[in-house]
Structure 1
Amino acid sequence: MARPTKSLENMTRNLTKEQRKQREIAENEVKALGKSNPEPVTAMNEVELQIFEKYANLNDSFNEFDSTSLSLLVNSLYQYNELNRAIKELDIFDDRRAGLVRQVATYDKAVQQHASALSLSLTQRLRMANDMAKIAIEEKKLANMEAPQVQEVNPLLAVLEATKNVK
């Protein structure tokens, strides 16, 4: 299982100045994507809209790209809660109860899937910024390796060569 990625402010790991700079640039690019608000993409009743707004306000990194996953999460949560209420109203020996329990299990899986799809908003964006910073550092290293190498003149070798020519 992958470890959660931390933002630059929360990191305790030693980074070079170049790594820190690239990481900061990449995090700022990723954070710039999160400036819009998610909007419901499916038809919702008032209760679902309240849940949607509550989740949208819960995390300020949600943006318009998270609208679909957030809408599907809210729909699945609403259906899950409605089925749970129906199950509680039925007698424990009612034949219809087993079918509702299976449907609740299905919605439970759907809620988990949609919640994990939203993890891109929570942890994956920082991981993406980290990867972007690593790529930028590697690109700079490659550029330095491809740049023409200027042969530095060693002053001691120059003096040594000059003394050889004098004899």
Structure 2
Amino acid sequence: MANTYKSIANNKQKMSKEERKMREEAEERIANQVKTPPKPTGTLKEAQKSLFDNYVKLNDNFSESDSTSLTALTRSVHRQNVLIERLEELDELDEKALELERRIHAYERSIVQQMTLLCIPLNQRLRMASDMAKTMIEEKKLEQMNEQQPQEVNPLLAILEATKHRK
């Protein structure tokens, strides 16, 4: 099952105006957080560094928390490209070519995995905004309940108080 979350703007679900407003506020807070740009973790070769920078430019939602996944993605893509170049030089029936193809497929799996990890952070941020909005709504409901209910007078305490004053 896909891990998808709809922004409140795209959500057609029935909800109160208050709930919709709180969810919009929470999403806005999450979306407008100060974002620090991602930085490579560890050292990268010059070609890898330019690839990393290109990926950062592609998505302005990437932040410093995405640095590890972006670095791993960059390394895997670079290594896969090097292997593909080497594979093009070899005869297709050569044993070395078969081994290179296996390694290329392993890098493909790694690339897909890292790309999936990079898609999660924004999704998690939106889900967190939804959870924050739900918490805010529950707090507001509790406040309203506390304001609406007058303090009930315990009849036994009222009798005790009345008898105290008589003495």
Pairwise TM-score range, normalised by the shorter structure: 0.7 to 0.9
Instruction: Quote the residue 1:61 is aligned against.
Output: 61
1:88 paired to 2:88:
yes
- For residues 3 and 64 of structure 1, the distance between their equivalents in structure 2, rounded to whole angstroms, comes to 22
Deviation at 1:37, TM superposition (A): 0.5
Q: Secondary structure at the match of 1:121?
A: helix
Give the deviation of 1:23 after TM superposition.
1.0
TM-score (norm 2): 0.78
Residue 156 (structure 1) aligns with? none
Amino acid at match of 1:9: A
Deviation at 1:3, TM superposition (A): 6.0
Aligned position for 1:9: 9
Letter in 1 for 2:135: I
- Whether 1:134 and 2:107 are equivalent positions in the alignment is no
SS in 2 for 1:118: helix
Equivalent residue number for residue 24 of structure 1: 24
Query: Mapping of 1:66-85 within 5 angstroms?
Result: 66-85=66-85
With the length of structure 1 as denominator, give the TM-score of the two structures. 0.78
Q: Contact 1:34–1:61 (CA<8 Å) still a contact in 2?
A: no
Whole-angstrom CA distance in 1 between matches of 2:137 and 2:120: 23
Equivalent pairs, count = 151
Shift, 1:110, TM fit:
0.8
Query: Unaligned regions of 5+ residues in structure 2, if any?
Result: 152-167
Cα deviations by residue, 1:106-128 (Å, 9 ceiling, x for unpaired): 11111111111111234332222
1:34 and 1:63 in contact (8 A); partners too: no
Report sequence identity in percent.
41
Which letter does structure 2 place at the counterpart of 1:85? E
Corresponding position of 2:35: 35
Give the letter for the 1:26 counterpart: A
- Root-mean-square deviation (Å): 2.2
- Between the aligned partners of 2:150 and 2:22, the Cα distance in structure 1 is 26
Partner of 1:162: none
Alpha-carbon distance in structure 1 between the residues aligned to 2:40 and 2:3: 31
